[in-house]
Structure 1
């Protein structure tokens, strides 16, 4: 589990295919000395297991599903990545609960540069956008952010100066692809409600029939 509060930004120094896994070597001298083999590290939002450590770097190995679901498969040598070690349960949990299981990717469509902050707009698939709500939480490349707009075809977030300076979000431009993890609690609530109000279709799969009328019938106003 993670919080979406980035500890440091690392850089990819090597990408090595090893059969059905791809190994990343990540230079991160700020945290590498404290890592242990088997530790979990969120790499731009994707939870990875540390397989090797030296004084300034560590390695992780990605499965095909990671390459398919996230943007890690298109990283190059020199790419910068946001890094966060697994959260500790004996401290305050800032940010929000983040699993490190990327739901999909989104594309930057616009960046509004304000005096000190930025408002960033993203497009994404309908399924992903359906799990993003206004003023809810979303993880963008591992960074915990609050949603400003949540529309059928886009969403937006605001980024403060500290986050712009301390993460890779400060360098985002239109056309860039980012990893997205929607709010964990919201996903479960959505699934339970859809299952309770859904209708079966061919093949036994659930067809979403959630409507405002049904919500009102069940006491939601």
Structure 2
């Protein structure tokens, strides 16, 4: 369980293909505090630490994860947003995030507005995911508030702190991002479909 509050945008230092799996090695400031089997979200994808070295650690993404997320597009030197799992006594500063990416989206617009930024993302609506105005959305592991919600796209407003401390500052038009839609919204959508027989 995560909150969508990114701790660090860390550098990918090594990528190793192993059959259909991808071993991802990341260098980050809290690597020496991790332990084997610990869960860490990478661009919003919950992965398990499988190896530790000084100042860095390795996780493994399986084929399904690579197909449903942007992790298969990573290159050495790229930054990934990291968040360790929540502690039960911690404040929930973002929203409830499971670390299970629903689908990817493509950045279609970046607009700077007097010190902040508006990013617009377009996604495939055929998978049944929806956003609502002022609702929660997780983009590359970052808990954000939806603005300008439409059937197949939405925008988010990014403050300077988030821009500087996540990989949002590396986004360009065409960048592929991971989306996790709000879990409460997903349950409501499924229940309504069952109720209406659709």
CA distance in 1, matches of 2:87, 2:43: 19
What TM-score comes out, normalization by structure 2 length?
0.97
Q: For structure 1, which segment, 32-41 or 150-159, has the greater mean C-alpha deviation from structure 2 after superposition?
A: 150-159
Q: Which residue number corresponds to residue 49 of structure 2?
A: 50
CA distance in 2, matches of 1:58, 1:130: 33
Residue 68 of structure 1 deviates from its aligned partner by 0.3
CA distance in 1, matches of 2:65, 2:71: 7
Q: Which residue number corresponds to residue 137 of structure 2?
A: 138
Q: Which residue number corresponds to residue 121 of structure 1?
A: 120
Q: Secondary structure at the match of 2:148?
A: strand
Q: Matched residue pairs, number? A: 198
Q: For structure 1, which segment, 129-138 or 71-80, has the greater mean C-alpha deviation from structure 2 after superposition?
A: 129-138
CA distance in 2, matches of 1:153, 1:196: 24
Residue 55 of structure 1 deviates from its aligned partner by 2.1
Aligned positions of 1:71-220 closer than 5 A: 71-127=70-126, 130-198=129-197, 208=198
CA distance in 1, matches of 2:55, 2:194: 48
Q: Which residue number corresponds to residue 213 of structure 1?
A: none
Given that residues 130 and 152 in structure 1 are in contact (C-alpha distance below 8 angstroms), is that contact kept between their aligned partners in structure 2?
Answer: no
* Higher RCO by CA contacts (8 Å cutoff, separation 6 or greater): 2
Structure 1, unpaired ranges of 5+: 199-207, 209-221
Residue 31 of structure 1 deviates from its aligned partner by 1.2
CA distance in 1, matches of 2:36, 2:104: 28
Residue 18 of structure 1 deviates from its aligned partner by 1.6
Residue 154 of structure 1 deviates from its aligned partner by 1.6
CA distance in 1, matches of 2:23, 2:6: 22
Q: Secondary structure at the match of 1:150?
A: coil
Aligned positions of 1:56-71 closer than 5 A: 56-71=55-70
Q: Which residue number corresponds to residue 20 of structure 1?
A: 20
Given that residues 129 and 150 in structure 1 are in contact (C-alpha distance below 8 angstroms), is that contact kept between their aligned partners in structure 2?
Answer: no
Task: Return the index of the structure with the highest Cα Rg.
Answer: 1
CA distance in 1, matches of 2:123, 2:186: 16
Q: Deviations over 1:124-155 (max 9, x none)?
A: 10145742111100000000000001112321
What TM-score comes out, normalization by structure 1 length?
0.87
CA distance in 1, matches of 2:192, 2:31: 43
